[in-house]
Amino acid sequence: MEEERPNYVSELLISGDWNTPLLQSLFTQWECKEISKIPLAMFDAEDCWTWHFSKSGNFTVRKAYYVANVWSAGVSPKVRNFGWRAIHGGLTVRATLVKRNVCEDARCQLCGEADEDVTHLLMRCSEVKRIWYVCPLRLQINMHTMQSFKDWCVSMLKVNKDKNWWNLFWAICWGIWMRRNMWVFEQKRREEMDLVHRAMSMVNDYERANDREAIEMDDSCLKSRWSPPIMGHYKINVDAAIFKETGVGMGAVVCDSIGEVIAAMVSLRKGDYAVDIAEAMAARFALKIVWKSGLRSVILETDNLKLFQHLKKAKVEASAFGIVVKDILQLATLCTSCSFSHVRRKGNQVAHKLAKLSKDCNEERIWIEELPEQLYHLVSDDLLE
């Protein structure tokens, strides 16, 4: 009897990676090589369509890929991440907790009138309706017949193209979520207008911060020397090396505010990846290990300008590169503080050499408070400069 063939992509995976022997038994050598170029997401994510013939993965009607412009909104990354989860029903609302047997009552704790799902929380709750009406957007929820929050966002995108409008929209959504949590966990109530004022301030503060960064952008991109992080933070320098025969080498070094090496790490990943994807994978690899080690205030520094710009702007494309960038951004939200920095190759020599050394490592390797002996002179050179 013929062995049953896999029906789902998940059946082609083993321990979070491609099952190479299984791929080789099912596909041609060329197909296996192309499949191996696809990086796998670290976190669960919604399936989506992607346009293979563009680097960004987007079709010509670009905005259709960014539902309600959430990933390009002028708000902080944590708000964009919240917006994406809201659109895809990923918030831990009462209805979701009931399904997971975490609690027994799905009723909204603000109004007590209906079960709390994402649509009720952000649209249908009587208290939320008042917020949408008194805010500068002047939205009358009763006039909308959409069945879900996602459908509501899509319908408004057809009539509202102004980026500033959407910036405030997502800031208010975030405010509604924080107001709800304040009531549920602290039994404190925030007034509607206080929420609105806070949302407006959030948008203005983010815009001013971006204006300052835009002025400094040219200088930061031209930085060629390594510099230590501020006191209490740790800098993670990352790099990748492409090995034609073996795959992608990833290297990273972690230093404190006086330039002392806290850790160094290397890993060799099988697969034929593009350079930008390999660089992003190295950053993801390092940030994951550093986060697991308990370091929560970090600066992630790369010499890949594209990766830096995407992380700085929290820009997520519908592409293989975008999958890894999204993982990095989600890891960043788990940190107390995580910022991104760019340095030229000259200032990233330690990570670069570590990535090269990974070619001789059969497994992931981590050094604590030390480096391979042949690299110490590079650390000294960084400190002297």
As a whole number of angstroms, the distance between CA 328 and CA 326 comes to 5
pLDDT value of position 89: 84
As a whole number of angstroms, the distance between CA 375 and CA 357 comes to 10
Report the candidate in 303, 288, 284 with the shortest Cα–Cα distance to residue 348: 303
DSSP letter, residue 123: I
Structure tokens at 152: 């509501």
Tell me the average confidence (pLDDT) per consecutive run of 10 residues in the chain, 385 residues long: 72 86 84 82 74 54 50 86 88 89 91 93 93 91 78 83 88 96 93 92 83 54 79 95 88 92 92 90 96 94 93 89 94 93 90 90 87 80 58
3-state secondary structure of 255: strand
- Verdict on whether the full-model pTM lies above 0.75: no
CB distance 83 to 170 below 8 Å: yes
> Would you call 242 exposed, middle or buried from its count of C-beta atoms within 10 A (0-12, 13-18, 19+)?
middle
- The type of residue at 94 is R
Q: Domain residue spans in the chain?
A: 1-36, 73-221, 234-384
Q: Which residues pair with 366 in a beta bridge?
A: 265
Residue with tokens 């964009």: 80
Phi, psi of 46 (to 5 degrees): -70, 140
234-384 classified as CATH 3.40.718.10? no
Q: CB neighbours of 184 closer than 8 A, spacing ≥ 6?
A: 109
As a whole number of angstroms, the distance between CA 75 and CA 207 comes to 8
As a whole number of angstroms, the distance between CA 177 and CA 199 comes to 12
> Would you call 69 exposed, middle or buried from its count of C-beta atoms within 10 A (0-12, 13-18, 19+)?
buried
As a whole number of angstroms, the distance between CA 283 and CA 22 comes to 28
Phi, psi of 328 (to 5 degrees): -60, -45
pLDDT value of position 65: 41
pLDDT value of position 280: 96
DSSP 98-110: HHTTS-S--B-TT
Q: Which residues pair with 136 in a beta bridge?
A: none
3-state secondary structure of 285: helix
Q: Which residues of 102-130 are buried (b: 16+ CB within 10 A; e: fewer)?
A: eeeebebebeeeeebbbbbbbbbbebbbe
pLDDT value of position 214: 55
pLDDT value of position 303: 93
